[in-house]
Chain A
Amino acid sequence: MEKQPILRVENLKTYFYTEDGVVKAVDGVTFDLYEGETLGIVGESGSGKSVTSLSIMRLLDEKGKIVDGKIIFKGKNLLELSEAEMRKIRGNEIAMIFQEPMVALNPVYTIGDQIMEAIMLHQNVGESKAREIAIDLLRKVGIPEPEKRVDQYPHQLSGGMRQRAMIAMALSCRPSILIADEPTTALDVTIQAQILDLMKELQKEYGMALIMITHDMGVIAEMADRVVVMYAGRVVEYGEVHEIFKKPRHPYTYGLLSSIPRLDVEQEKLKSIPGTVPDPLSFPSGCKFHPRCEFAQERCKNEEPELVEVEPGHFSRCFFWEKLKELEVK
């Protein structure tokens, strides 16, 4: 059965026109998001995952421009909407939570004020009703004593509490898509697990689609149904989570997976991908990953591979994906 995607990103190109030159932060990204599923977008810092999410929300700063592509949400191309129409979608249809709960809440208002702002903005309710909804939401995201917490300022809350409040804020209008940009990166590991559980739970309850942006393969394994692996503004691998974890078909994904510390195998040193993400102003020719790739060959330096379907629903941007298949057999 072919499901209709709720959000379809097609060949998205977002460039930043800086004084030093054009930064191709996102260069031809395509993926689908289906109702109720969780899509993980994974990659190192600077791979363009956050820019992708900001492009969907059309929240880029003045230097960033979406030069090409389509973002189709419920049949409408978001890139063609007016700013006023887009405002109705933000928060209401697509909501977003951010990496740093410490700074994503306005320090001068109580969390109640901020949640109520979102509610009153999109739902036609009065202040007292909005307050009730806010308290309900806080209870739902697992904040104890929500009647008391609603009148507290962000600095009076712990990081985990703040992230819960952020989630409550994002969920206040029952969006159909929630974009979570590294929602757990700034939190303690124990809190991370709680927040992820909470998000899973709420996703089930609200039936919304979730885009999980992270660099943490552990979070992906925990949360995602399908995964987009990004490197230097491009999708390098895309597929079901089990496929990706069990049969990575791109050396970058392979590298990411092998750099997860393991307890079951004796390791002297943690594995890592050598080198760093290339300077976005001067990407290497050919396959952008080749300087760091252990399988790189002469061809990789001159030619950029296309995204090929290696198995149904599993795509890879590598000439030598079959080699990885062999590696796995070993």
Chain B
Amino acid sequence: MRVETKRTLKRFFRNPSAIIGVSLLIFFTVVAIAAPLLAPPLNPMDPSRKVHDPFTMPKVTWKQEPVPPTSKADAEKAFIAKGIAKMLYEKEKEDLVPLALKVVENLSSEELYRVYAKVSPLKSKIKEYLKTVKDKLKKAGLENPDTYINSFMTNDFLLACKKALEGDENFPQVLKSLASEIPNLRKTYLIKIFKEGFPYLDYDHAISVSKEFLKVDGNVIDFLMEKGYIKRKPIRCVDYHIFGMIDGRDIFYGVVWGTRTAFRIGLIVTFFATLIGLFIGSISGYYGGWIDEVLMRITDVFLSIPFLVAAIVLTTFLGTGLDKVMIAMVIFGWMGTARLIRGNILQVKEEQFILAAKALGVRDYLIIMRHVIPNTIFPVVIQASMRMGSLVITAAALSFLGLGAPTGYADWGSLLNYSRNWLLGAQGDVFKYWFALVYPGTAMVLFVLAWNLLGDALRDTFDPRLRG
């Protein structure tokens, strides 16, 4: 037996398609297992919090709907603000406002997003900084340092500072020295905020900052962030989201967690469909007669129902969702196996060793389990491994029709579904959003290919009769 196993393994691994298929599958398995490490399921707005369900892709969101600038003046200010943001981001120049006026080009959503991407780790640092300010104020004997902090950037506070600098005796000494630092502090803070992306600080902070320094309404800032765009438009952002983003979601995250989804769909559906197929096919093939007739006609009925129509009908009363789609795929996916196993059993049934086993008084179910199935199972295993891949495609097709995974589910099909609006790219640049399609698409192709190669290799190894 050991020798035989060794020989079989040797034959298996001498097959190039087996090597490619198995290595691809190992790769996908590793990715699926290491998904929490590769793409931590963290809230992008606050990396210290975990997301509720890792299979729901975390999404970048804002608290308010964006409001476009209403007046011409606002629009100009917004434009200048944008320019400042860009200048600050790029050059860290001190004397910025006059330069900003010269900025003419738009800051694209991608660039703004880049700003955002860097802020998350820095946000806590700014908080810390504010805390030291608060401590200083406390030490100075202020009863309500929070109000000072809150009014840190307001005119009242500035007035207070001015007063202090002008020599008001009632103002505490420490605060006086602090107030003297204020202009510098404000500058640093401003730079930091722009550099690191102010909309990702507390929303209120952002508004106060923008009001104070840019004289622009907070809502306008939101609009500048092109929230609506970020939500839907694919964004390429190599330094933070290596596969880019689409619909406010990280494509890399989707591809990594989608591996788990793919395995789940493939394994569960194949397992149950094969089980049902084996059960029905083996009973029908072994007993024959009217049982065979009835079961095979049922199989024919199921085969005659178009799968997509059936899946649509089924989801109308089961509801949509990945599990429902999986149920539909099991219910309408067992017939192939049943027919295959029945045909094989009809062949094996006539073999003399079955008769020999019967002549030894072996029970029917033991004959099926021990003698019939082991001699007929290989084509089924091969078919199952081939199906593993194609099931993922079917699930993707159903997602495409809106029957599959819910919006934002980490699934390759859903990712491709998002990118279908951007397939044509931007005007004048057909390949602008290539990444939205190529990464999840490649993952899916490789996954299907891996199973097909494995199936081929299994067939060549175990069932040389089927070799084409």
Contacts and interface: CB of A to CB of B under 8 A. Distances in A.
Interface of A: 57, 59, 62, 86-92, 95-100, 103-110, 117-118, 121-122, 151, 153, 166, 169-170
B357 interface: yes
Contact of B356 (A88, A110, A166): A166
A127 to B, nearest CB: 14
Given A108-B374, A151-B1, A100 B358 contact: no
Contact of B359 (A96, A109, A151): A96
Contacts of A87: 361-363
Nearest to B363: A87
A107 B375 CA distance: 8
B468 interface: no
A179 B244 CA distance: 76
B57 to A, nearest CB: 46
Contacts of A110: 1
Contacts of B289: 62
Interface in B347-363: 351-353, 355-363
A278 B371 CA distance: 36
Q: How large is the interface on B (under 10, 10 to 19, 20 to 34, 35 or more residues)?
A: 20 to 34
A90 B358 CA distance: 8
A122 B362 CA distance: 9
Contacts of B360: 90-91, 95, 117-118, 121, 169-170
B355 A59 contact: yes
B353 A57 contact: no
Contacts of B352: 98-100, 103-104
The 7 closest A-B pairs by CB, nearest first: A90-B361, A91-B360, A91-B361, A96-B359, A104-B352, A87-B361, A106-B353
Interface in B251-293: 288-289
Interface of B: 1, 4, 288-289, 351-353, 355-363, 370-371, 374-375
A106 B289 CA distance: 25
A151 B3 CA distance: 11
B353 A121 contact: no
A92 B359 CA distance: 9
Nearest to B377: A108
B66 to A, nearest CB: 68
A90 B359 contact: yes
A106 B375 contact: yes
A98 B352 CA distance: 8
A264 B353 CA distance: 42
A260 to B, nearest CB: 28
A118 to B, nearest CB: 5
A136 to B, nearest CB: 18
Contact of B353 (A92, A105, A170): A105
Contacts of A108: 374-375
Contacts of A109: 370, 374
A92 B361 contact: yes
B397 to A, nearest CB: 38
B182 to A, nearest CB: 86
A12 B363 CA distance: 26
Contacts of A88: 361
Given A106-B353, A106-B370, A106-B375, 19 more contacts: A59-B355, A59-B358, A59-B359, A62-B288, A62-B289, A90-B361, A91-B359, A91-B360, A98-B352, A104-B352, A104-B353, A104-B355, A105-B353, A107-B375, A108-B375, A110-B1, A121-B360, A121-B361, A153-B4
A107 B358 CA distance: 16
A97 B355 CA distance: 10
A106 B357 contact: yes
A166 B360 CA distance: 11
A99 B288 CA distance: 25
A186 to B, nearest CB: 11
A103 B356 CA distance: 10
B374 to A, nearest CB: 4
9 contacts: A57-B358, A59-B355, A98-B356, A104-B353, A105-B356, A109-B370, A117-B357, A121-B360, A153-B4
B362 A57 contact: no
A86 B358 CA distance: 11
A256 B353 CA distance: 31
Contacts of A153: 1, 4
Contacts of B356: 96-98, 104-105, 166, 169
B4 to A, nearest CB: 7
A57 B360 CA distance: 10
Contacts of B351: 103
A170 B355 CA distance: 13
Nearest to A110: B1
A87 B4 CA distance: 34
A216 B289 CA distance: 36
A264 to B, nearest CB: 38
A122 B359 CA distance: 12
A57 B363 CA distance: 14
Max chain A Cβ within 10 angstroms of own Cβ: one of B289, B356, B357:
B356
A95 B356 CA distance: 9
A107 B89 CA distance: 74
B358 A106 contact: no
Which of B1, B289, B353, B375 has most A Cβ within 10 Å?
B353
A108 B355 CA distance: 16
Contacts of A106: 353, 357, 370-371, 374-375
Contacts of A90: 358-361
A91 B355 CA distance: 12
Contacts of B1: 110, 151, 153
Contacts of A103: 351-353
A96 B375 CA distance: 22
A117 B352 CA distance: 16
A138 B371 CA distance: 22
Contacts of A95: 359-360
Which of B352, B370, B374 has most A Cβ within 10 Å? B352
Contacts of A166: 356
B380 to A, nearest CB: 14
Nearest to B359: A96
A104 B4 CA distance: 21
Contacts of B362: 87, 91, 117, 121
Contacts of A62: 288-289
Contact of A98 (B355, B361, B370, B371): B355
A107 B357 CA distance: 13
A136 B154 CA distance: 101
Nearest to B374: A108
Contacts of A89: 361
A117 B4 contact: no
A62 B346 CA distance: 13
A150 to B, nearest CB: 11
Interface centre among B1, B357, B361 (most CB of A within 10 A): B361
A170 B359 CA distance: 9
Contacts of B361: 86-92, 121-122
